[in-house]
Amino acid sequence: MPRPPKWRRVEFVPDITHFKPAGVPLRDLDEIVLTVEELEAIRLKDREGLDQEACAERMQVSRPTFHRIIGSARGKVAEALVEGKAIRIAGGRYRVARRYYHCQTCDYDWEDTFVAGSPGELHCPRCESPDIEFGSGGDNRPGRCRHRHGHRDE
């Protein structure tokens, strides 16, 4: 029996989950299902312009696995565009990335879903201070870099 697929890490879950050709009712269209991790692969590679190694690292999968995911996603999008099919984004084996935050003002730590952007755009839920540091693995100890790569600050 084959090993079940690993959960893929995604940083973006779309609010809009259907795309279709204009002027044709959805009920009259064939539909392609693009998984959430396939959309994430397209976002990282084609929208953010990252190389495949960086994309694979962000999704916490191997490079060959990322290559299969992006290939499948691009094939589905091409089929929908060429054949006039609707695209529905749904399903897959993914987990939404979590980020760990620390308020420098009141020393409050919290965890929430990943939000792209810099710490200056966020505010502490306890004291409303914008003086926020962030990490990704729960390791917000002093002396550690609070960014994703987790190396020691020099």
Q: Note the pLDDT tens digit of each residue in 88-137.
A: 999 999 988 877 788 889 998 887 776 555 445 778 889 999 888 876 44
13 and 84 belong to one structural domain: yes
pLDDT at 87: 98
pLDDT at 134: 73
Q: Is the pLDDT of residue 143 over 50?
A: no
Residue ending a domain, among 95, 122, 144, is 95
State the residue range of the domain holding 41: 8-95
Q: Is the pLDDT of residue 29 over 50?
A: yes
pLDDT at 28: 96
Q: Is pTM, for the whole model, over 0.85?
A: no
29 and 87 belong to one structural domain: yes
119 within domain boundaries? yes
Please state the φ and ψ torsions of residue 71, each to the nearest 5 degrees: -65, -45
The whole-angstrom separation of Cα 97 and Cα 66 is 17
117 and 49 belong to one structural domain: no
- What Rg, from alpha-carbon coordinates, does the chain have? 19
19 and 89 belong to one structural domain: yes
Average pLDDT of the segment spanning 26-48: 96
pLDDT at 135: 66
Residue ending a domain, among 95, 124, 146, is 95
